[in-house]
Amino acid sequence: GDEPLFPSLREVRNKLAKEVALAKIKNGVGRMPAFGPLLRGNEDAIIAFLYGLRDSKPRPGESDVFEIHNNRMAMAQNAADTLQLYLNFTAFSHWYDPQGKPSIKPPWGTLNAINLNTGDYEWKVPIGNIPELREKGAAETGMEGYGGPIVTAGGLVFIGGTRDKKFRAYDKETGKLLWETTLPGVANATPCTYRSNGRQYVAVSVSGYPENPAGSIVAFAIP
């Protein structure tokens, strides 16, 4: 995990049943990839570790030897089968200043419109906001985001993806914010639009939140 961007598994024992947690780890969920091939034969050990089942944990020495043995066996059996191999690595981290702000000049996230005929920016607006870091009278801080925008035939740009859980609509021509709402979770996905019974809708996938850890699909009707 990388709190608060990506939840860790530290307190998973208080949130999910063992079977649910193991299924998520094996099959992946949201932005987390599937780790099933890496867990093969170690399911009991990972659950014992996450849920504090000390009597079920293998001793550290045994666990290390078992891991090394499995890696070598996998390479010997079929070095081309990438599902059986993995590399240990250090995950990326974020670079913050002493006050906890990103170590670059704000805005820390923008939505940009580019003229495909000239390559020039038509407009650029900050997207996302960290209220506690926003100076009085200043524009939104912008923030790291995931999930792209869509543009409707009517000239609306819809986008989510920011950690402030906002879902926004901008004017395609000017970049002016026309509408925003707060979602129950972060919309780490690109929205879609569709029509039903003569009405147009915009829908987006929302990540899990305390009341609904599995996440949901949220849809809005366009007037």
| pLDDT tens per residue across span 135-180 | 888 888 999 888 899 999 999 999 999 989 999 999 999 999 999 9
Query: Tell me, what DSSP letter sits at residue 142?
Result: -
Q: In this model, does residue 5 exceed pLDDT 80? A: no
Confidence of residue 210 (pLDDT cuts 50, 70, 90): confident
Q: Is 177 exposed, middle or buried, given 0-12, 13-18 or 19+ CB atoms closer than 10 A? A: middle
The pLDDT value given to residue 182: 95
Given phi > 0 = left and psi -120 to 50 = alpha, else beta, which region is 30?
left
Q: Which pTM value belongs to this model? A: 0.65
Amino acid identity, residue 114? I
Residue 125, H or E segment: strand 121-126
Bridge partners of 158, per DSSP, are: 150, 169
